Amino acid sequence: MVTLIVAIVWLFLDQIIKFILPKVMSWYETLEVIPGILNISLVKNDGAAFGILAGKTWFLIPIAIIFVIYLFLQREKISKIPFAKWGAPIAAAGTLGNAIDRIFRGYVIDFIDVPFFSVFNIADIGITVGILLIAVGLYLHERDQENDTSNNPGK
């Protein structure tokens, strides 16, 4: 239940910021927050991360929906894996945040600008952190199962 609340808060935070920023900033305007390290830049991204698949919204929306459905269908298995049980809802929330943008706007709003890296948003952080947590959780789960099998050969 707590993981569901975290996912809802993550999605709400992403969407409320994307709702407010275009009302208080101009498109492609940049506000310096920490010189050389962090800016707020309001940009439209009609692709995936780093502008990959630009203009392929029709492709990215079904991929997002399939990913979220898969996580939902696997929720019982995922809930038993410590890191993954946190990663899956956060990744799903991030995926839904960007899918909502694509469906209703035709592009994703990015605004966290790290000049030496890229411009991204709260949803992107959720997707990245969530998938990382899922991967770590699955790795540790597999490792523990292999250790159980090798320590108890009759299992």
Q: Tens digit of pLDDT for each residue in 59-79?
A: 899 999 999 999 999 999 999
8-state DSSP, 140: H
Selecting among 14, 101, 110, 113, the annotated active-site residue is 110
Q: Is residue 89, in this structure, part of any structural domain at all?
A: yes
Q: Which is nearest to 112 in space by CA: 13, 2, 12, 4? A: 13
User: Could you tell me the residue range of the domain that residue 11 belongs to?
Assistant: 2-149
Selecting among 14, 101, 113, 124, the annotated active-site residue is 124
Please tell me the predicted confidence (pLDDT) of residue 103. 95
Q: What is the SS3 assignment for 118? A: strand
Q: Is residue 155, in this structure, part of any structural domain at all?
A: no
Mean per-residue pLDDT for 104-120?
95
Q: Is residue 66, in this structure, part of any structural domain at all?
A: yes
- Concerning whether 110 is annotated as a catalytic residue, the answer is yes
What is the count of structural domains for the chain?
A: 1
User: Each residue of 114-142: pLDDT tens digit?
Assistant: 999 999 999 999 999 999 999 999 999 99
Please tell me the predicted confidence (pLDDT) of residue 153. 65
146 pLDDT band, cuts 50/70/90, is: confident
Please tell me the predicted confidence (pLDDT) of residue 54. 79
- Concerning whether 113 is annotated as a catalytic residue, the answer is no
Which residue do the tokens 């694509």 mark? 102
Q: Give φ, ψ of 146 to 5 degrees.
A: -65, -40
